Every structure is written in C-alpha cells, then in structure tokens.
Amino acid sequence: MVKWEEYIVSDPAVLLGKPCIKGTRLSVEFIVKMYASGWTEQMMFENYRRLTPESLRAVFAFIEECIKDVALFELPPATAA
C-alpha cells in the first residue's frame, strides 16, 4: 500500500491549506471530483502531466485514512426504479 504521507501535503500558502498532491496545486478534493465526474486515470494523466499512478493511489489512501474511524449515517434503503 502506498504511503500517502509521501505524496499528500497541506500548505497554508497553497489552496488555503487543502490537502494536495505534493509539487502540484491539485487538491485531493479536485481529484475525487474529477473521478466522480467520469474522468478516467488516463484522462487525468494526459491533462495533468505531474500526476503519477502512485500519487493517485495516495489520494485514495489518504481518504481511507480520513474516514476509517468516522461514524457513518445510515442511508435510506434504495427504491426500485
């Protein structure tokens, strides 16, 4: 498993301290938003040359670390469409 600490940093002078991929202004939030919008890894690599497979894995390792002990709210049951 990738050590997210080697790839994710927070600097108050960069994006108001949002967690970002080291050496970029690409925040963890931005990367997740791109995935949620349908971007593929290949699309990200083509558009953001400083991204690496390891830095993308670090984003998800960081998220996992952040939410692993968070109490989650029960979601309502899905309804049939």
Rg (alpha carbons) of the chain, rounded to whole number: 15
Identify the CATH class of 4-67: mainly alpha
Tell me the C-alpha to C-alpha distance, in Å, between residue 26 and each of 14, 58, 64. Answer: 10, 13, 18
Per-residue pLDDT of the chain (81 residues; tens, 9 = 90+): 899 999 999 999 999 999 999 999 999 999 999 999 999 999 999 999 999 999 999 999 999 999 888 776 777 887 766
Q: What are the structural domain ranges in the chain?
A: 4-67
pTM of the model: 0.82
